[in-house]
Structure 1
Amino acid sequence: MRKKKHGGFRRPFVVKTNTNTKQQPHLSSVDPITGKKIPKSFVFSRGKIPGPLKQLQMDLRKLMLPYTALNLKEKRRNNLKDFLNVAGPMGVTHFLILSKTATSPYLRVATTPQGPTLTFKIHEYSSAADVAKSQLHPRCPKDLFTNSALVVLSGFVSGDLPLQLTTSMFQNIFPTIDVKTVKLSSCQRIVLLNYNKDTKEIDFRHYSIRLQPVGVSRRIRKFVQNHQVPDLRNLQDVSDFVTKAGYGSESEADEEAATVTLSSDIGRVNRASMKSAVKLQEIGPRMTLQLVKVEKGLCSGEVLFSEFGKPGEKGKSDDENDGDSEGSEDQDQDGNGSEDDEDGEGEDDEDGEGDEELD
């Protein structure tokens, strides 16, 4: 039996910040465009969730980099107030909360500290690993998550209050960019959200952005990018290496609709004033969402919109919902609601698993 520290009291919920700004000079707390705080997020779960949903949680944390807590550790004893108390001093502006009921998983996106909260039902989802397995050549460079993703919304009509709130929420969880001053080299990821008015579902996709110079053979491009000596053993002359077509077709890269003229150099092969083809490669995660509820407060308060109920009702708090649905789901799966405590998961966090470095 392990002894508890601090005079028998449980160790408080702790999040450590990384104060070494020299290692991350690109991270700032103030948006130079709007003058407001740069949005930061916590991605965590409420109640017990299955393994695939835990993987989705980690994928969402990577998607929200660099302004999120990648290694955030939560315990079942932590309630919403624990996260809220830490969010204020750290400048966290949004919560992304995953949960699972007996019928479906849900994603809540909330603005701290007073809401609103949007609840989405997750009809389908695929993790980043699942997306990579479906591709012949998956792509994920090391510096892909150095900068925030761009967000593009499609099909969100004006005039509809729920869709207006959805549009505002997803636009505000990512930093604002100025198209005139933004560095093209920092635009490496994009989040696409497409709303289908017939099904009322949102297709959530996450892509990496890749540029390829137009008019340059694949052999030359790979030679410049990889810094590797080419294999010329089977060639009669070095000109054969330059003129011989590479594997695959270059027609797709030469389409005018998919090309742009760069204003600055990007990498070793994409030069300024030259045309480059824009390629999007999905990196996941992938979700199909449906907005089912909008609450005025933080996971509580007046219900402004409900897909299945009546608007204007008083919504329950997050802890009350956990006790009614997620808590009962834990009992159904575990046999009792305290199995994790018996396994030591609910004991005091002596090994420092509750600590987090917010980059």
Structure 2
Amino acid sequence: MKNISILGATGSIGTQTLDVIRKSNGEINLIGISANSSVNKIIEIIKEFKPKYVAMMDEESAKSVERFCIENSIDIVVYKGIEGLEAIASLEEIDMVVTSVVGMIGLRPTIKAIEAGKDIALANKETLVVAGELVMKKAKEMGVDILPVDSEHSAIFQALNGYNEKDVKKIILTASGGPFRGKDIDFLKKVTVEDALKHPKWNMGQKISIDSATLMNKGLEVIEAHFLFNCPYDNIQVVVHPQSIIHSMVEYNDASVIAQLGTTDMKLPIQYAINKKVRKDAVCDSLNFYELGSLTFEKPDLDTFKCLKLAYKVGKEGMLSPCILNAANEEAVALLLEKKIKFLDIAELIEEALEVFKEEKTKEVTIENVIRLDSEVRKYIRQKLN
């Protein structure tokens, strides 16, 4: 039996991880869970899975969960805040942490989990974006496996299985193109938040949906792939594949291309990561090749969707450049969701932040520097708006 914690148990990846546990025939045991403020959802998880520990980022929400447990004689430890996430991530009883929180907030608990010797099923791409060098080095030192949950990185992970790293010529990340595929700048000037949230293929949270619309999600995945697979940026190619059937590919030196195909269902990569490459009974539907029709591929428009181009740029710069990009993007996306800026303002604000904080780019990647710079960039973006 494998004991796990889920950071972000009420989000899209978290809830699908719960489905994987339900279908695991008792092979996966849920020990710890966390959420931000979704008290009702957490209570339902507690009733069904009976974890020993829960953490709520919001203090009042933690009190509500604690009150419910006391009133119903449920023996559970309730933590709060970022320290609570760190506690859930480093529990002695667990073997693995599923990190499915969204944003840079996942960095500290992931580091704590690695230091505690826990394997990581990584769905929080921002952790590697802002501090990939640090995280991968620490994982190697501790003998910890980092197993990707993103569908694209899981596809690469599967395509690399059994092959030698030196035989790899190129990693090919597929992208759906988002809701604005094929649109030009004039069209994007008029789009609304609601338009940007309508992803054509995947059902995701708001932040990731906006990132998909700007292609920043693919940019973050490029940086993540660089660290996960030790692949130079010039050897990571993005291909727009609207059908989202091929989740990514690896080209080898002999020109062979190995692809992973599947339905648009995150339960498969979640299951593959949690079971550390051991294939179990299916938790999603099989592909019906008779009904698929054609699979098409396009080159991404980097001039219209500048976020992807910026991600390649800061990835190659390295050091703290990706931290600046990520902080500016997270804050800009939040402002868009609050309807305080327009869609195209996201890339403009990121570019400006990269220029304003250019003296910070070459500083050492440490937890302290990442957290400090992340805070300063966010503050700048908010002040810029005012």
Which of the two has greater helix per residue?
A: 2
Higher relative contact order (CA 8 A, sep 6+): 1
Query: Which structure has the larger Rg?
Result: 1
Quickly name the TM-score band, shorter chain normalised. Answer: under 0.3
Q: Give 1 or 2: higher strand fraction.
A: 1
TM-score (norm 2): 0.26
Q: Report the TM-score, using the length of structure 1 for normalisation.
A: 0.27
